[in-house]
Structure 1
Amino acid sequence: MRVTAVLVAYNRRELVGEALDALAAQSRSVDRLVVVDNASTDGSIEVAEERLAAWGDRARLIKLEKNTGGAGGFAVGIAAAVVDEDTDWVWVMDDDTVPGADALAGALATHERYRASGRDDLAVMGSRVVWTDGEDHPMNTPKAKIRAGRAERERAAAVGAMEIRSISFVSAFLRASRVRELGLPLADYFLWNDDFEYSARLLRGARGLFTPASVVTHKTAKRGSSDADPGPRFFFEVRNKLWVFRRSDALYGWEKFLYFGASLRRWLRTFRASSDRAQLRDCLKRGWRDGTRTNPRSTRDVLRDTGVPVDVMIEIERLEKAERRA
């Protein structure tokens, strides 16, 4: 199995260096590395260039001219990863994600055990994500797949894993063949729910595992869930969730009903915990308006004129065609 790691960076100079050092120190070496910089202004690019020098032609740094958000950065990075036809897994992460030394080895070992136990229909894997205190990070703790069959649950448990229906981009392993079949994350999401929609899309009709044998540290400022105090980002939470429910085929109809109810409850908790409800009301109003009246633009159109290399843009266009056919 050949693994290409994709790291998306934006103005976290110290953390991007730590993350790249951790990738270089994996007990099972990463085969290739793609770093996408979202027009950082704090010297992150220089740090990345220094670290990538040791990788030689196994690494690629893509310097975008505009900040395309996490969604755009991952779309570019994943496209650049699957340009290499030999890539089997794409390992994605943010620049504040520091993989443990056995993060890659643990994930691949889980896949090998799973493959040996039956049909190799694994499309997505997700690492165990902890905070700096070593405890599970509530922002990235996955839930078991709803309505997973007994055979699914038992097969996953037998390899030390858990069946999932979606996963965050904080250390997710995406099957390259599935990416080539179903396309890329939607860059127009910019922030939030792009990983939810995309991983759920890859997992519709396929299998996904939460793999505790792969551990990474998510170095956020606080150990808390993303809905604790979202501030102006709440706009993206509302708009993008509505885009998922209205426009995406990632979820079955009954799943959309359940997730919509869960989202309403989450938004209520967010309002209760917020110290600036006026801002949240404005975000809710604008997010609801845009989420119900607009549709996400094509990723190709969003990323045009942002500095995406020609070969990667060609791959983005090809993958969009593949998504439409699927």
Structure 2
Amino acid sequence: MPKIENKTCAITVTYGNRWHLVNQIINRLLRLDHISNIVVVNNGSGYNVKEKLNELNDDRVILVDCEENLGSAGGYNRGIAYAHQNTDADFFWLLDDDNLPEEDALAALLNSRSEINMPNDQLALLSLRTDRELDHKFAHGADPYKYYLIPDDFLGFSFLRIGRNKLMKLVQKRKQQSTVVNQMLDKVKMPYAPYGGFFFHREMADKIGYPDERFYLYVDDEEYTYRVTGNGGSIWLIPASKINDIDTTDVRVEYKLSQFSSKYLDLWNFRMYYRVRNSIYFHKKTTLKNPVIFNINKMLFLGKLKALSIISSKQKEYSEFVAAVTDGLQGKLGKATWKNFK
């Protein structure tokens, strides 16, 4: 095998019965020039992953077996740690098990990286997820910092931004009616990133370590990648590097919000518990600037949600929501028990 330059180790975490997806991702990656290894983390799959990987007969594909499902945080923690400690790859590229990179996606990352003059431990890149509306907005000029890391917000709500949000919706509506389309940018600076498409040098892993397993599910990717920008580094979205989500079996009914409903009540389950708890914890650490404004936002949000819970007879869901908020504010992380979302 010829010597590989810019050795890249792709890392993916899989679970359930998703070999039909993982297989496509692996086969695409094996055709890319700079792929030196592919680390597949088995996070509680319902089939023999080792047997399937052996059938590929390619020693670049490495299995990391977890005894139980460790959630996204634990899965990526184990995958990144293995790649960092047991391979000689220069770069790590994180991909969800349904993220199919386009043929030139990795080359676009490497080309962009060579044009950005920053030290290895201060620079990370991000592929564009073609199914994500916000990614497309950012690629066409929208400012990510107007959507993320809003000061003193409570789950995205801030009374100081009510008027501004209405104005943004009006502007967006007019843009949609306009035939003028902004040219796609070469790169966009991001405050943090999802796991899927995140690309960084091994020296970055020396600096930021591995994902925090206490998050278990949700927001763990935000907390992990924010360590880059929080420590003075930069994350750049590279629109020329595209990855496509290929999981067509996960057909979800889009939730329709009405005047007297809330997704936090109507869709309450264990996933929503983690999303609320972890988001509260993360944003308390990163965006809390003025406790008075934060507490006003919290009071207004909880007051409205409590009223909605009475109207919709979902007081039980509301009490569990408040418990998730309390856990987040107090930093009670880790894998939760059935009591949190029964």
The answer to whether TM tops 0.5 is yes
1:281 counterpart residue number: 318
Q: 1:78-105 CA distances to partner (integer Å, 9 max, x unpaired)?
A: 1111114743321111111111111111
Contact 2:9/2:83 (<8 A) preserved? yes
Does 1:114 find its partner at 2:116? yes
State which of 187, 212, 216 in structure 1 corresponds to 2:243.
Answer: 216
**How many residue pairs end up in the alignment?**
270
1:9 counterpart residue number: 14
2:193 counterpart residue number: 167
Q: 1:215-246 CA distances to partner (integer Å, 9 max, x unpaired)?
A: 11123435899989865211011111122134
Contact 1:128/1:141 (<8 A) preserved? no
For 1:30 and 1:94, locate their aligned partners in 2 and report how far apart those are by CA, in whole Å: 16
Does 1:42 find its partner at 2:47? yes
2:123 counterpart residue number: 123
TM-superposed deviation, 1:253? 5.0
TM-superposed deviation, 1:277? 5.9
Q: 1:147-201 CA distances to partner (integer Å, 9 max, x unpaired)?
A: 9xxxxxxxxx998111111111111112321221221110111111001111111
After superposition, the CA RMSD in angstroms is 3.9
For 2:15 and 2:216, locate their aligned partners in 1 and report how far apart those are by CA, in whole Å: 13
Does 1:69 find its partner at 2:71? yes
Does 1:23 find its partner at 2:21? no
For 2:83 and 2:54, locate their aligned partners in 1 and report how far apart those are by CA, in whole Å: 18
Unaligned runs of 5+ in 1: 148-156, 303-326
Cα distance change of structure 1 residues 146 and 16 upon mapping to structure 2, 3 Å threshold: same
Q: What TM-score results when the alignment is normalised by the length of structure 1?
A: 0.69
Cα distance change of structure 1 residues 167 and 224 upon mapping to structure 2, 3 Å threshold: farther
For 1:146 and 1:50, locate their aligned partners in 2 and report how far apart those are by CA, in whole Å: 45
For 1:92 and 1:286, locate their aligned partners in 2 and report how far apart those are by CA, in whole Å: 33
Larger Rg: 2
Does 1:234 find its partner at 2:308? no
TM-superposed deviation, 1:77? 0.6
For 1:162 and 1:173, locate their aligned partners in 2 and report how far apart those are by CA, in whole Å: 14
Does 1:177 find its partner at 2:177? no
For 2:316 and 2:135, locate their aligned partners in 1 and report how far apart those are by CA, in whole Å: 22
Contact 1:6/1:92 (<8 A) preserved? yes
For 1:256 and 1:91, locate their aligned partners in 2 and report how far apart those are by CA, in whole Å: 38
Q: What TM-score results when the alignment is normalised by the length of structure 2?
A: 0.66
For 2:197 and 2:29, locate their aligned partners in 1 and report how far apart those are by CA, in whole Å: 12
Moved more, 251-260 or 9-18: 251-260
Contact 1:10/1:44 (<8 A) preserved? no
For 2:242 and 2:220, locate their aligned partners in 1 and report how far apart those are by CA, in whole Å: 22
For 1:30 and 1:258, locate their aligned partners in 2 and report how far apart those are by CA, in whole Å: 48
Unaligned runs of 5+ in 2: 1-5, 147-182, 256-262, 336-342
1:243 partner letter? Y
SS at match of 1:23: helix
Quote the sequence identity (%): 23
Contact 1:186/1:296 (<8 A) preserved? no
